[in-house]
Structure 1
Amino acid sequence: MVKLVLGSRGTGKTTKLIQKANEDIKKCAGDIAFIDADNKNMYNLNHKVRLINAMEFNINNIENFHGFLCGIIAEDYDIEKVYIDEIYNLIDLDMDKLYDLISKLENLGDKFNTSFILSIDYDLDDVSEDIREYAE
């Protein structure tokens, strides 16, 4: 499953992701990973949520990012949810690339029973109908 938290910069997407991750870790049977572009939210996340600073891994395109996610899941088969914030600081993501990423995440999630929740710097009105169906 892939869900998108949409909104322009400064609309509280990160706060929403942190709240959801902290709520989910209390009721989730598996593990949760929170992928960010820095460590600034380390103290806002429940200590059971695994914070991963993706900037430390030289990710610069969708293929690298997909491989990175595969590695995280391979290392921990109990990962149930992966929250992804500030993806635009990692890779260039226009609308076409966003749909490609969603497709890759859908396939990965189906194969390993993992959900992906991403913050995306687009408003609902700015995304195509194909992407809109993933909006939360």
Structure 2
Amino acid sequence: MVNLLTGPKGSGKTQQMIDLANQQAKACSGNVVFIKNSHRDTSSVAFDIRVVCMDDYDAITNIDEYIGFLYGMYSANHDVECIFIDGILKRDHIKSEDMPKFVERLEKISAQCDIDFYVSISAGKDDLTGINLSETCKVLN
């Protein structure tokens, strides 16, 4: 399942993501990963959640490389059950027009690997044209 949190910058998406990640860490039997863009604000993320900072991986410059990064993460740890991706559009080389393809590929990874994705996007629901909401992709807010 791919879960999207949408809204303008500063609308509280990151805190929602942290709260959801902390809930999932308590509820699921596998591992939870929280991907963020910088080293700031990790203190409220539960200790048992693996936090990954994308500033440490500046070689990832497009959607294809990002998807490869996610597959690599799963291949190294098959116990990953949930991956939270905070602020995907804050990556310099990822744009809103990339989101339909990105979400479609996340849906495939989710089905293949049984991983739930939570993605925060700094855009309104109406700005996300081309994303097909379905049983495997929904907007949480």
Distance 1:42 1:5, change over 3 A: same
1:30-45 maps to which residues of 2 (within 5 A)? 30-45=30-45
Question: What's the TM-score, normalizing by structure 1?
Answer: 0.93
Letter of the 1:107 partner, please give it: K
Q: Which residue is equivalent to 2:109? A: 108
Q: Which residue is equivalent to 1:87? A: 88
Structure 1: segments with no counterpart, 5+ residues: none
Q: Which residue is equivalent to 1:13? A: 13
Separation in 1, partners of 2:23, 2:69 = 25
Letter of the 1:125 partner, please give it: D
Structure 2: segments with no counterpart, 5+ residues: none
Letter of the 1:11 partner, please give it: S
Q: Give the helix-richer structure, 1 or 2.
A: 1
Separation in 1, partners of 2:115, 2:126 = 28
- Number of residue-to-residue matches in the alignment: 135
Bigger CA drift: 86-95 or 28-37? 86-95
Letter of the 1:53 partner, please give it: C
Deviations 1:55-103 (A, max 9, x none): 21121100110011011111110000000012122232223x1000001
Distance 1:131 1:121, change over 3 A: farther
CA contact (8 A) 2:100 2:130 kept: no
Q: Secondary structure at the match of 2:74?
A: helix
Q: Which residue is equivalent to 1:70? A: 71
Q: Secondary structure at the match of 1:47?
A: coil
Deviations 1:17-76 (A, max 9, x none): 000001111111100000000121221100001000012112110011001101111111
CA contact (8 A) 1:124 1:132 kept: no
* Identity rate, percent: 27
- Considering only aligned residues, what root-mean-square deviation do their CA atoms show, in Å? 1.4
Separation in 1, partners of 2:75, 2:41 = 25
Separation in 2, partners of 1:108, 1:78 = 14
Deviation above 6 Å: which 4+ runs of structure 1?
A: none
Letter of the 2:47 partner, please give it: H
